[in-house]
Amino acid sequence: MSKKNWPLWEIFVRSKNGLEHRHFGSLHAADAEMALENARDVYTRRNEGVSIWVTESKHITASNPENNGELFEPAQDKVYRHPTFTIYQTK
């Protein structure tokens, strides 16, 4: 038997009352159609979802953890960027 694995797919499911698709996990499948069927069986068998998106993991571009400093740290001391920061004066 071939040891070659099917490619990895990322699965996004929109829950019944959810407004957007959320990342549920990943699984292996030979193509998109099989990924949908597998996602249906693996992630929605307990009535979790009303819609599924699948995309091959290789198509996802991720940020590099090594760059976390320059990417995310500058935001840490800027709490005033939260909308709750502003105090509205009420009479």
Instruction: Kindly determine how many residues on this chain lie close enough to bind another protein according to the rule CB under 8 A.
Output: 14
Q: Does 32 bind another protein (CB under 8 A)?
A: no
Q: How far is CA 46 from CA 5, 7, 49, 77, in A?
A: 27, 25, 9, 42
Scanning 24-32, 49-57, 62-70, 77-85 for contacts with another protein by CB under 8 A, the matching segment is 24-32
Q: Does 28 bind another protein (CB under 8 A)?
A: yes
Q: How many CB atoms lie within 10 A of CB 91?
A: 2
Instruction: Measure the CA–CA gap between 86 and 35, rounded to whole angstroms.
Output: 46
Site for another protein, residues 56 to 85, rule: CB under 8 A: none
- Cβ–Cβ under 8 Å, residues 72 and 30: no
Binding footprint of another protein on the chain (CB under 8 A): 2, 6, 27-30, 33-34, 37-38, 40-42, 45
